[in-house]
Amino acid sequence: MQSRFRSDRGLTARMGVTLFLLGLLYVVFVGALIVLLKSWVLVVVVAAGFLGAQYWFSDRVALFAMRGRVVEREEYPELHGVVDRLSTLADMPKPVVAVSDMDMPNAFATGRNPDHAVVCVTTGLLRRLQPQELEGVLAHELSHVAHKDVAVITIASFLGVIAGLIVRFAFYSQLFGGGRRDQNTAVVFAAVMGVSAAVYAISFLLIRALSRYRELAADRAAALLTGRPSALASALTKVSGDIARIPTKDLRTAQAFNAFYFTPALGREPGIAQLFSTHPSLEQRLDQLGRISAELGEAAAPGGA
């Protein structure tokens, strides 16, 4: 079913190119592992098992990791009301609604398709935002579901996860078992680590390039659906400012899920690290929303704080 979120050909093209390149990389990666480990059955079974688990259970894993829980309408009637209105406005299935008991203000969406999606907000976000600001954030998250880029990011990140696990496995195997291995085995493990590290680096860069664009696409779609880009801009400014005041050490657990968040869990602006960021800069996002506001002829601050 086609939602009323404005389609984004640029996002669709980038998702297709990213999946194609990662798929090609995946074939090369699996082929290299089969040659090096001399066991195609083991490689294929493990790879397929991880991919299936990530595709089918990514929503549960994300909720568990971020201490999210599904909430019913009786417990959070206003939150459900906003999700109901946006789902109806966008003509898409209502996702499962969840809340994470965290002071860090943020939100994320996950799930393999619009019929099996979850949108989760933190209690910190609910405390800080006005109703129209919350609506903008939730519209942003629902657009990720409607555009199916949540599923693409989930699948795309699989290869990097596998490569990273193999690097760790090979490293610790050599570290704790090196004395019992012959030279040929050591060479094979070194080759596996080299191939895995290269695959991880390439997939890391491809995923982050896609992630930055999809965040801008979600901002655009949310602003156009609600007709209040200034409310979304206000929410972005509030959330980014509050997160920047949280000590970095308190954000480290959340940083593993930055690609899924409304705004990244960074204690400060990343500077040169922006090249490796999952999100565009706050300035880029606000500039885009300002242009959309001008195009829509929005009043100065009807949806602001």
The binding site comprises 140, 144, 215
- Which residues sit in the known binding site for Zn(2+)? 140, 144, 215
Enumerate the β-bridge partners of residue 96. Answer: 118
Is 74 annotated in the active site? no
User: Which of 74, 141, 283, 295 is flagged as catalytic?
Assistant: 141
Question: Which residues carry out catalysis?
Answer: 141
